[in-house]
Amino acid sequence: MALVLSDQSQNTNDLTNVNGAIENTASTPFANSTSVADLELSSTQYFTAPNHASLQLATSVTLEAWVKPESLTGNHTIIGKGRANGDNSFNYGFRLDSSGKVQFVYASSGPTFHTWATTAAQASVGTWVHIAVTFTFGTGSGILCYINGTSVGGSWVQGNGNSAVLSNSEVLQLGCIHSVSGANELFDGLIDEVRIWSSIRTGTEITNNKAVELAGDETGLAAYYPFESLTRTKTITGLAKIVTLTTRTIIGVANIKNTTLQTITGKARITASVARTIAGIARIQKTTSQTISGLARIQKTASQTITGKARIIYILSDQTIAGLARIHKVINQTIAGLARIAKVISQTILGKANLIKVIDQTITGVAKITVGVSKTLTIVYNIDEYIVGHRFKPTIMRSGLEGPRILKIEDKDKLTIIYTK
């Protein structure tokens, strides 16, 4: 397999592989990582990504990467934004020096370089290490560095970090930085899970996520390079607004635009879904081949079994609807239970119904029908629903179907009124 060079964040800051860095699957930093990049210093290998607004950071930054050095001779840049034209405009970056210390570097106007370094060596040849640095530009005392999730000490060895950053429109580079002589400070070794954030990540967030792949849509994620395609298999619990997901179990209240092969439990607003079991309260705009249980507000469905209370705007053939339903338009359905139906065509309706318009229906139970065309209506009123001597008029508001006024109900268990056009 070839290295995956696409940015897995939502910003499409895709990489270009310069001089043919290769994929390594034999040594990865954690269990879910299956592919890393192998950069060879002797071959001048590195990656670049074009400038993008999401990469131009002026307020704060968090940089993360897993690295496994194969040599440490001089400085070795892991992430660097700037200096691609050989000038001194440098937005942010971090590197390892020859002793394995971590250095964070940025430039302010002038330009003036500011370099912070760990007190002790943190990386060694042949060992995977996770490095993370967080910094608010212009606040030198606030810089933090985490090694394998643990905060380590250091100091500013050049400048003091109290000046605003000199942002630039130059490319992002992984594995090198440029100078007037070309690619410089080349990294030699394996690199994985490069993450650039426009926000400050907490120590807990860094620790909890350093050995797991991200979803790619996290707030503040400017660029993400795991060097492999993400499976994005997740269990989501609680309140969720989900745009797209694949192979997930979703529990709780959800606004879901598109899903594939999910089990969804709880309250859901689903725009489109395919091949699902949906349980609980749902507002579903379009579904295919679903079993839907519970309260549902469904705009359009095909080949569904719908159980429970439903508010259905439009459904097509091959549905069985059981329970309480408020249905705007249905075709070729069998509907059982209490129903308020705005328009139906060729249905068999059982139970209590408030029908605004029906065509060619057989209707059984207690019904209030506003408009009816070409049908046999059998309307059964239970005697205990009416007071003897009560005056009422069945609401059939179409010429030729006007019903008589019932003047008196005597000792009958029920009164059956049959209208035929």
Nearest to 167 by CA among 82, 222, 91, 113: 91
Query: Considering the domain boundaries, does residue 385 fall inside one?
Result: no
Of 182-186, 339-343, 362-366, which has the strongest mean pLDDT? Answer: 182-186
Q: How many CA atoms lie within 13 A of 130 on its CB side?
A: 19
Considering its fold, how many domains does the chain have in total? 1
pLDDT: is 200 or 250 the higher one?
A: 200
Nearest to 419 by CA among 363, 336, 342: 363
Query: Considering the domain boundaries, does residue 163 fall inside one?
Result: yes
Helix and strand tally (H, E) in the chain? 1, 40
Domain with residue 121: its CATH number is 2.60.120.200
Which tokens is 103 given? 């250095």
> Which of 47-56, 129-138, 386-395 is the least confident region?
386-395
Question: Which 3-state string (H, E, C) describes 390-405?
Answer: CCECCCCCCCCCCCCC
What is the spatial distance between Cα 318 and Cα 343, in angstroms, rounded to a whole number? 17
pLDDT in tens, 234-281: 566 666 666 666 666 676 666 676 666 677 777 776 777 667 677 776
Nearest to 348 by CA among 359, 327, 362, 358: 362
pLDDT at 410 over 90: no
- Contact residues for 111 (Cβ-Cβ < 8 A; gap 6+): 88, 89, 90, 166
Please give the pLDDT value at position 229: 87
For residue 335, what pLDDT band results from cuts at 50, 70 and 90? confident
Query: Considering the domain boundaries, does residue 2 fall inside one?
Result: no
Query: Considering the domain boundaries, does residue 65 fall inside one?
Result: yes
> Which of 66-75, 106-115, 145-154, 358-367 is the least confident region?
358-367
Of 216-220, 286-290, 387-391, which has the strongest mean pLDDT? Answer: 216-220
Please give the pLDDT value at position 290: 75
What backbone torsions phi and psi does residue 204 show, to the nearest 5 degrees?
A: -65, -45
Query: Considering the domain boundaries, does residue 355 fall inside one?
Result: no
Pair 43, 84: CB distance under 8 Å = no
Query: Considering the domain boundaries, does residue 206 fall inside one?
Result: yes
Global pTM? 0.60
Query: Considering the domain boundaries, does residue 280 fall inside one?
Result: no
What is the rounded average pLDDT for all residues in the chain?
79
pLDDT: is 59 or 410 the higher one?
A: 59
Please give the pLDDT value at position 239: 67
pLDDT in tens, 108-124: 988 899 999 999 999 99
Which tokens is 23 given? 């994929």
The range of the structural domain enclosing residue 44 comes to: 16-225
Query: Considering the domain boundaries, does residue 285 fall inside one?
Result: no
